[in-house]
Structure 1
Amino acid sequence: MILAAWLLASAGAALSQGATAEYDLVIRGGRVLDGAGNPWISADVAVKDGRIVKVGPVKGKGAKEIDAKGRYVAPGFIDMMDQSSRSLLRNGGAENKLLQGVTTVITGEGGPPVPAAELPAYFDRLEKQGIAVNLGTYYASTQARRKVMGDADGRPTPAQLDEMSREVDIAMRGGAFGISSALIYAPSSFQTTSDLVTLARAASRCGAIYATHMRDEASNLIPAIEEAIEIGEKGGVKVEIFHLKAATRIGWGKLMPQALSTIETARDRGVDVAANMYLYTASGTGLEITVPAWVWAGGKDKGLALLKDPKVRERLKKEVAAGPQPDWPNHVAAAGGWDNIMLANGRVEKYAQYQGMSIAKIAAALGKDPADTAWDILIEAQPERATAVYFTIGEADIRTALRRPWVSIGSDAGASIELGKADGDVLPHPRAYGNHARTIAEYVRNNPVLTLEDAVRKMTSWPAERMGLSDRGLVREGMRADIVVFDYAKIQDNATFAQPLRPSSGIDDVIVNGVPTIAGGKPTGARAGVALRHQCVAGG
């Protein structure tokens, strides 16, 4: 009887507290970083109905309260170059993102996993199934090309370009933030500057962005940047350069300063161009980029057939050995050889034991030529994509670029389907689990390049401004309540190239649209994210 009475009394007290709570959530006594780059202030933050309603002393109670004394309170981080468009359909939890403090992802380098006309239904499906982060996407110029022309090389006719432009327009009106390109991959690499200007003009009617994985990030980096700027200027759109890097060892210390100067010269004359980057010395992508581009001119199936031909392989090996080409950024040469290309995921069980080893070491173990080894893995993985990590980036160049105020943070990595496990949509690279936490741990605290205020700005208000997210990216009254609470002394990216699937730590609480989604460093299972639909306002 006594126990029952106590339980009833406790339940009544809880209901009473909830009934009289003025706010849904109050974060008490934290060091509040507003996200705009201002110094922190000591304040409470009150949340109600998914929005921040008060910043300062809060007398009223919250239905839930977080004691943030001694910790920092910041806007939720925005991943400006995400790859979660497919994985979130399979599992909306995005735990590896949330544990870095990421509350919003901008995806779509390869476009959404649906045609342009189905984009609204894709957004609806994400929300119906439930996602733990907010998601916005680009539509890929390659998607339009594939629909009209397939995946082979060739110039589109004026009628075909008109049809592609209609697809772009449909996507923009369906909620895409702009068009993207990935110009080192076929068939995107077959698109000319003129083609992309035409498609950018179609997107410009909706005030969109042209976001690009440029044609070359190695020896021809500067012409590639100039091409991106030209597309933006002639197409009438903003330009966002994906994962800015100088990805060739022979260019370290030289190419990046030239690249930054090229971008800033364009900005000085009024071109709205900016970039994002991840903070690691290796890129990660498919093994197909180790093959000269002409192999894929007839489409994927014909390219794979060519790659199986021993005579063709001998020619390819000579081209790889010859170094960079004007029409092909030779990633093997950029890495300094097969010793600096590490197998990330071979897809086939027999190669599982070699993951994390260089292609050169795998070749030695198998008694084969490194090129043959890489291309055999590529072929045997089909129809899946074998991936590798390419150590082509200089640490000093990362630090140089990161200082620029127009550079934001993007991981080029997706949400895991299962935390801590490799899967079909996540390339095993530490950037998937550590990039945003690393921004603070490494480049503010351990080896300072940025102030804490500016690091947070690069992950919050600046990307929100770039994407036109006027109600996110700041801890201010009236804004959407995407909030991160972290311990500056403990925040840490734990993922490494040897162990790339280790979650970040030190980010204790993450709020998405007012809902606690990480609490005490653990996922709550909440799915409070929404699809972010760009509004077509110009000419709409």
Structure 2
Amino acid sequence: MRRLALAPVALLLASAAPAPDYDLVIRGGRVLDGAGNPWVRADVAVKDGRIVRVGQVPGRGAREIAAGDRYVAPGFIDMMDQSTEALLENGLAESKLLQGVTTVIAGEGGTPGDAADIPAYFGKLETLGISVNFGTYYASHQARVKVMGDGAGAPTPAQLEAMRKEVATAMRAGVFGISSALIYPPSSFQSTSDLIALAKEAGKCGGFYSSHMRDESGKLVEAVEEAIAIGEGGGVKVEIFHLKAAFAPGWGKLMPAALAKIDAARDRGVDVAADVYPYVAGGTGLDVSVPNWLWADGEEKGLARLKDPAVRERMKSELAAGPLPDWTNLVHASGGWENVRLANANSAEYDRFNGQTLAAIGKALGRDPADASWDILLAAAAQKKRAMALFFMMSEEDIAAALRRPWVSIGSDASAAVKLGGVDALGLPHPRAYGTFPRVLAEYVGKRKVLTLEDAVRKMSGWPAQRMGLSDRGLIREGMRADIILIDLPKVRDAATWEKPTEPATGIDTVIVNGKLTIDARRHTGARAGAVLRHPCPSVETLS
């Protein structure tokens, strides 16, 4: 009876308890503000999706996290993401979040559908719900293909004007600018003047021209000059995707020259910068082992030509000769087929060779490595898939030289995995999909001492946010969006390797996106608080 009599009193006391002052308070961590400043010991309070107090925080949060000696930092921004399609299939993006990434900027390959379809695409992402913030570019070749197909040739003035209108439509929908991937047909068929004309439309909205440049190997410096010229001619900001010196004979020479070109352009007022990924191998389709002229009449006819022995003999001669004026020979840049590793054959016939070099595969099949490569390419294409390979063609010294530049940020060139522990949505088992951002901390801060912790965090948060015009993200400051991560630095490790490329990273076990706890003790909470980021177009009335 006594217990029953006390029950209403307990209920009354519980109902009288004051409501929490904050949604979340992180207590006593080492706060890195994202601007490059030294850490300070402080609390961080979050309410309604924003950081509302940094310092000593009185009151209490509905959730309290004791940070201890962990670092409290802004969520990382992936400046070269490939999750355009993956987020439609699974918006959880666990492989990104476990790296500390809370915002991704995608679009090297463009957006699904035409420019007019972008609002519907954004709306679908919002309806499905995503766990990371997402922004994108519109690919310049999308406009070209819509107007004149996927073959070679120069557009007429009327066709170029139609392409400009497509770009204007995309900019009004909220993309951050236009992108190009000039190593790949049909993007490779675009001239500098064509790209300047399209960039001018992006420039009317304060947008970007962002590029996988025409050459990242022997003609790297010339490709940098072209990207800068497009920015100057188009009146746009320039972002160079995954800056690299992918040419073994030029290691130690090409990268310093390219960096000097960018420094000189910045000195004269060109808003140009770059991102990198911290690995010595690039990853892409085996189709880059084919000269661009094969695709001049489109993909279907190119695949048919690839079966012709006479065509193959010509291509083998060109592979042996090195770079061509309109084609980057990545096999030559890697030093030969022994430095090209099959990552994903994407066909039952050849999957058993995944992880082996093309030189070894050719020997096993009794074929020239080039023929083996092209047979694997055709087998995947027959399944409407793309055979993927790793090209080992960069040096650690060149990567370090790029990382030291203050205007260099980090981009993974990888998609979120649809399922944690699986290959990313591009079908490319490269460790950058799981390890890019932790590797910067573990390898280039911890082991190699290339960067300080403060500058590494700045390169992955405050600087890219400023670069992209995300004025309310990227910093631990009052009023900012609460994209926050906790870093247990001694435990940070990029577990993904060349042999096991899909191992999730460790050391970042708490991730908050727009104020919602999304990764808790390395487990996804199910929260989908990510936002679609739309680039504003203040001069929309001037668009053609």
Report the TM-score range of the alignment, normalised by the length of the smaller protein: over 0.9
Question: What one-letter code is carried by the residue in structure 1 that aligns with 2:494?
Answer: D
Q: How does 1:54-453 map to 2 (within 5 A)?
A: 54-382=53-381, 383-422=384-423, 424-453=425-454
Q: 1:25 matched to which residue of 2? A: 24
**Per-residue deviation at 1:10?**
10
Q: Is the 8 A contact 1:413 1:426 kept in 2?
A: no
Per-residue deviation, residues 244-291 of structure 1 (Å, max 9, x unmatched): 000011110110000000110111111000000000000000111000
Question: Structure 1 residues 6, 343: closer, same or farther in 2, change over 3 A?
Answer: farther
List runs of 5+ in structure 2 lacking aligned partners.
Answer: none
| 1:470 is the counterpart of 2:435 | no
Question: Structure 1 residues 52, 301: closer, same or farther in 2, change over 3 A?
Answer: same
Question: What one-letter code is carried by the residue in structure 1 that aligns with 2:398?
Answer: D
Question: Structure 1 residues 3, 225: closer, same or farther in 2, change over 3 A?
Answer: farther
Question: What one-letter code is carried by the residue in structure 1 that aligns with 2:111?
Answer: P
**Per-residue deviation at 1:425?**
2.6
TM-score (norm 1): 0.97
Question: What one-letter code is carried by the residue in structure 2 that aligns with 1:476?
Answer: R
Question: Structure 1 residues 367, 205: closer, same or farther in 2, change over 3 A?
Answer: same
Paired with 2:12 and 2:506, the residues of 1 have a C-alpha distance of 37
Q: 1:530 matched to which residue of 2? A: 531
**Per-residue deviation at 1:446?**
1.4
Question: Structure 1 residues 449, 13: closer, same or farther in 2, change over 3 A?
Answer: farther
Per-residue deviation, residues 448-503 of structure 1 (Å, max 9, x unmatched): 10010000000001000111000000000000000010101111110011110000
User: SS state of the match for residue 257, structure 1?
Assistant: helix
Paired with 1:264 and 1:429, the residues of 2 have a C-alpha distance of 31
Paired with 1:168 and 1:516, the residues of 2 have a C-alpha distance of 37
Question: Structure 1 residues 488, 307: closer, same or farther in 2, change over 3 A?
Answer: same
Paired with 1:466 and 1:26, the residues of 2 have a C-alpha distance of 29
Question: Structure 1 residues 290, 268: closer, same or farther in 2, change over 3 A?
Answer: same
Q: Is the 8 A contact 1:246 1:255 kept in 2?
A: yes
RMSD: 1.9
Q: Is the 8 A contact 1:220 1:326 kept in 2?
A: no
Paired with 2:6 and 2:361, the residues of 1 have a C-alpha distance of 66
Per-residue deviation, residues 403-446 of structure 1 (Å, max 9, x unmatched): 00000000000000001112553411000000011111111111
User: SS state of the match for residue 54, structure 2?
Assistant: strand
Question: Structure 1 residues 506, 16: closer, same or farther in 2, change over 3 A?
Answer: farther
Paired with 1:170 and 1:476, the residues of 2 have a C-alpha distance of 35
Per-residue deviation, residues 315-356 of structure 1 (Å, max 9, x unmatched): 111110111112211111000000101111111123222111
Question: Structure 1 residues 430, 15: closer, same or farther in 2, change over 3 A?
Answer: farther
Question: What one-letter code is carried by the residue in structure 1 that aligns with 2:28?
Answer: G
Question: What one-letter code is carried by the residue in structure 1 that aligns with 2:29?
Answer: G
Q: Is the 8 A contact 1:517 1:525 kept in 2?
A: yes
Paired with 1:67 and 1:327, the residues of 2 have a C-alpha distance of 57
**Per-residue deviation at 1:126?**
0.5
Question: What one-letter code is carried by the residue in structure 2 that aligns with 1:212?
Answer: S
Per-residue deviation, residues 120-158 of structure 1 (Å, max 9, x unmatched): 111111011011100000000000001001100010000
Question: Structure 1 residues 384, 426: closer, same or farther in 2, change over 3 A?
Answer: closer
Question: Structure 1 residues 38, 317: closer, same or farther in 2, change over 3 A?
Answer: same
Q: Is the 8 A contact 1:414 1:426 kept in 2?
A: no
**Greater mean deviation of Cα atoms: 517-526 or 248-257:** 517-526
Q: 1:480 matched to which residue of 2? A: 481
Q: 2:457 matched to which residue of 1? A: 456
Question: Structure 1 residues 69, 146: closer, same or farther in 2, change over 3 A?
Answer: same
Paired with 1:419 and 1:534, the residues of 2 have a C-alpha distance of 30
**Per-residue deviation at 1:3?**
12
Paired with 1:278 and 1:498, the residues of 2 have a C-alpha distance of 18
Identity %: 63
Q: Is the 8 A contact 1:209 1:239 kept in 2?
A: yes
Question: What one-letter code is carried by the residue in structure 2 that aligns with 1:106?
Answer: I
Paired with 1:326 and 1:100, the residues of 2 have a C-alpha distance of 39
Q: Is the 8 A contact 2:472 2:481 kept in 1?
A: yes
User: SS state of the match for residue 353, structure 1?
Assistant: helix
Q: Is the 8 A contact 2:417 2:425 kept in 1?
A: no
Question: Structure 1 residues 10, 223: closer, same or farther in 2, change over 3 A?
Answer: farther
Q: Is the 8 A contact 1:245 1:398 kept in 2?
A: yes
Question: Structure 1 residues 310, 445: closer, same or farther in 2, change over 3 A?
Answer: same
Q: Is the 8 A contact 1:219 1:248 kept in 2?
A: yes
Question: Structure 1 residues 49, 6: closer, same or farther in 2, change over 3 A?
Answer: farther
Paired with 1:386 and 1:424, the residues of 2 have a C-alpha distance of 13
User: SS state of the match for residue 82, structure 1?
Assistant: coil
Paired with 1:351 and 1:487, the residues of 2 have a C-alpha distance of 41
Q: Is the 8 A contact 2:340 2:389 kept in 1?
A: yes
Question: Structure 1 residues 297, 28: closer, same or farther in 2, change over 3 A?
Answer: same
Paired with 1:319 and 1:277, the residues of 2 have a C-alpha distance of 29
User: SS state of the match for residue 20, structure 1?
Assistant: coil
How many residues align? The count is 539
**Per-residue deviation at 1:6?**
12
Q: Is the 8 A contact 2:415 2:425 kept in 1?
A: no
Question: Structure 1 residues 348, 103: closer, same or farther in 2, change over 3 A?
Answer: same
Q: 1:495 matched to which residue of 2? A: 496
Question: Structure 1 residues 328, 71: closer, same or farther in 2, change over 3 A?
Answer: same
User: SS state of the match for residue 79, structure 2?
Assistant: strand
Question: Structure 1 residues 423, 442: closer, same or farther in 2, change over 3 A?
Answer: closer
**Per-residue deviation at 1:114?**
2.4
Q: Is the 8 A contact 2:416 2:425 kept in 1?
A: no
Paired with 1:112 and 1:63, the residues of 2 have a C-alpha distance of 39
Paired with 1:422 and 1:357, the residues of 2 have a C-alpha distance of 17
Per-residue deviation, residues 6-55 of structure 1 (Å, max 9, x unmatched): 999999998876x6100000000000000000110100000000000000
Paired with 1:89 and 1:224, the residues of 2 have a C-alpha distance of 34
**Greater mean deviation of Cα atoms: 349-358 or 292-301:** 349-358
List runs of 5+ in structure 1 lacking aligned partners.
Answer: none
Question: Structure 1 residues 504, 124: closer, same or farther in 2, change over 3 A?
Answer: same
Question: Structure 1 residues 11, 435: closer, same or farther in 2, change over 3 A?
Answer: farther
Paired with 1:2 and 1:356, the residues of 2 have a C-alpha distance of 73
Question: What one-letter code is carried by the residue in structure 1 that aligns with 2:280?
Answer: T
**Greater mean deviation of Cα atoms: 2-11 or 19-28:** 2-11
Paired with 2:518 and 2:448, the residues of 1 have a C-alpha distance of 30
Paired with 1:46 and 1:381, the residues of 2 have a C-alpha distance of 51
User: SS state of the match for residue 381, structure 1?
Assistant: helix
